[in-house]
Amino acid sequence: MNLMKKMFAIMIGMGLVVSLFIPGKAQIASAAELNFSVESVLPDNQRDKKQTYFDLRMKPGQEQTVYVLLKNSTKKKVTVNIGANEAKTNMNGTTQYDTNKIERDSTLKYSLADIVTVEKKVVVKPNSEQKVPVKIKMPNEDIPGIILGGLSFQQKDSEVDKDEKSEEQGLSIKNRFSYNLAMMLSTNDDKVKPELVLNDVKADLYNARTVILANIQNTQPMLMNQLEVKANVTKKGDSEQLFKKNAKEMQMAPNSNFDYTIPLDGKTIDAGDYTLTMEATSMGETWKWKKDFTVTDDQSAKFAEKDVDVTEEESSNWLWWVIGGVVLLAIIAAIIVLLRKKGNKQTRSRR
């Protein structure tokens, strides 16, 4: 567990994450772009006081209130919306602590969102600071591994600068800044054996691009750090590699899953049966999987039509194949007609 703790500290750095959210895009923003700041008030049961995220050793059934300090250094009031969220894994293979639409994993027994209670909205007066209580109610049993999540802090939309219009895209985009403060809870140092599972594999459209989605699941209450995945796709029964993707330095939240995306890079995928071969390594363990999946005629046609990355050359190839087929049939028909005419002439000449 000490190794897990060190890797966790490296992974989230100072534990205070500042994110800028734009539709379809996420970037790191500086604290100077926010109208407030967030500071954790570490209690006595903080495991490592050098860190600024909450890493608390607790007892089964224990109730505790910790505090977060909100600071407003502006001349206007700041209304902060607060949420308590379980940690999840996004499609980039990184742990996400904010409020999001990622579904809860079926193996998650205890969610930080259910254990932690915090005010949903706090108003901080101009040039002032305010302590926000965060109430924790631990499960009544000794739990293996960790409960991981985060507290999210976002300023009320109506107080943020007016919408900024993008000249390039002609879109109205509102900048939404938020802090995400990690929180890790545990009751013991018992070791947890890592376990990854490969679930469904399928071809689908993601962000208007054809991809192969392989759902990987971390079934244990532990962080999976330095996750490396190698994947390749072949026709079923064939060894020729059609599509591949290798990724390193990914991470998975406890009891979470994500769709590992294998891009087609602008290529089309024909209807038929395929095989995914995948290898994953993390925490000194290796998992190897092989799974078949099918692409139907309707799916193949839909992907070719709606994939924005399908190149003109790729699209035109389909057209030329159709035209070529029609021309070939016309030539064959013409040859048959000519042969018949020639045969008829020879028959009449013999008479």
Task: Write out pLDDT tens, residues 227-240.
Answer: 999 999 999 999 99
* pLDDT at position 29 over 90: no
Amino acid at 281: T
Question: For residue 14, what pLDDT band results from cuts at 50, 70 and 90?
Answer: very low
Per this entry, what is the length of the chain? 351
Average pLDDT over residues 117-129: 96
Average pLDDT over residues 288-308: 94
Question: For residue 31, what pLDDT band results from cuts at 50, 70 and 90?
Answer: very low
User: Do 212 and 203 touch, CB atoms closer than 8 A?
Assistant: yes
Q: Which of 270, 267, 335 is nearest to 300 (CA)?
A: 270
pLDDT of residue 12: 46
Distances (CA, A) of 136 to 60, 84, 112, 243: 11, 11, 9, 47
Question: For residue 265, what pLDDT band results from cuts at 50, 70 and 90?
Answer: confident
Buried residues in 14-43 as b, exposed as e (16+ CB within 10 A): ebbbbbbbeeeeeeebeeeebbbbbbbebe
Task: Write out pLDDT tens, residues 166-223.
Answer: 444 545 445 567 789 999 999 999 999 999 999 999 999 999 999 999 999 999 999 9
pLDDT of residue 239: 93
Residues forming beta bridges with residue 66, ordered by sequence position? 134
pLDDT of residue 91: 94
Average pLDDT over residues 105-119: 97
Range with the poorest average pLDDT among 66-75, 318-327, 337-346: 318-327
Question: For residue 131, what pLDDT band results from cuts at 50, 70 and 90?
Answer: very high
- Tell me, rounded to whole angstroms, the distance of Cα 67 from its chain centroid: 30
List of domains in the chain? 2-186 (2.60.40.10), 196-306 (2.60.40.10)
* pLDDT at position 341 over 50: yes
* pLDDT at position 165 over 70: no
pLDDT of residue 176: 64
* pLDDT at position 260 over 50: yes
161/275: higher pLDDT: 275
pLDDT of residue 50: 92
Which three-class secondary structure state does DSSP give residue 125? coil
185/162: higher pLDDT: 185
Instruction: Please report, rounded to a whole number, the percentage of residues in the chain having pLDDT higher than 90.
Output: 68
Q: Which of 258, 262, 265, 295 is nearest to 278 (CA)?
A: 262
pLDDT of residue 333: 75
